[in-house]
Amino acid sequence: MPMPASPPLAPLSLLQIEARFRGRIWRGDALGSSAEPVLSSGFDELDGELPGGGWPTRNLTELLLPAAGMGEISLLSPPLAETTHNGRNILLVGPPYLPYMHAWENLNIDSRRIVMARVYKPVERLWVLEQGIRSAAFGAVIGWLPEVSQQTTRKLQILARSAAALVFLLRPAGAQSETSAAPLRLLLGSARRHALSLYLLRRRGAPAALPIRIALTSFPWTRHLPGSTTPAPLSTLSAPAQHNAVDRSSLSRTIA
């Protein structure tokens, strides 16, 4: 005798689905979270807009710049300072100019922990960047790649997924129309003196409706670092130091 057919199950409501699969479903209109560790940007306004509440590790982050030296290292200085205070090194691959180390020290970044690779050919620069990401010697890797393909960014993203480090790729602002595998992309713009406007071009979650304004002279993050002192505002530095990230000066260590 055939068994009676089971009555069809009533479809679950959206609230029931979210309750049953809590933590395993991400809504496209919500700001994404991060399963990987993040480092605070040092700026509450920016942390509030970054998935996970800070700069992601094990992921590729792109910063798109209209011009080099507009304050990008000041923007990154809180996690870079934390990286060096934790005894980890920073690798710079192909910066456009030799960094001015006095300005980096003024941002509480230990210049003794900075290693720079001076490479000029794109293929060589990419190779060094890949080796730096693969290495466990660096807590942060920053590479300047003016021209890079989508396939290359995909490869760098795959490498970054296995690296317990911050990985930043600095590219020209014109690259915003190019396809990239970086899950986090920001366009930097000048707001006014010693301030930046950040446009989140891509992040996990709803796009940011308005730019984020960051004042680079407040340095609220210094209180979190042991033995740190509040650095002087960039406006009080000597003329060469105002370019901080990309001034033509000396560097503690250089890899030829």
Q: State both tokens at 16.
A: 């029931």
Sign of CA dihedral 225, 220, 198, 144: negative
Measured torsion, CA atoms of residues 77, 78, 81, 82, in degrees rounded to the nearest 10: -150
Amino acid of residue 213: R
What is the architecture of the domain spanning 55-255?
3-Layer(aba) Sandwich (3.40)
Angle CA 103–255–145, to nearest 5: 75
Sign of CA dihedral 54, 55, 60, 62: positive
pLDDT-flagged residues of the chain (< 50):
26, 29-31, 220-256
Closest by CA to 144, choosing from 179, 169, 178, 127, is 169
- Over residues 27-43, the pLDDT tens digits come to 554 445 556 789 999 99
Structural domain boundaries of the chain?
Answer: 55-255
Closest by CA to 188, choosing from 61, 81, 13, is 61
pLDDT in the model for residue 19: 64
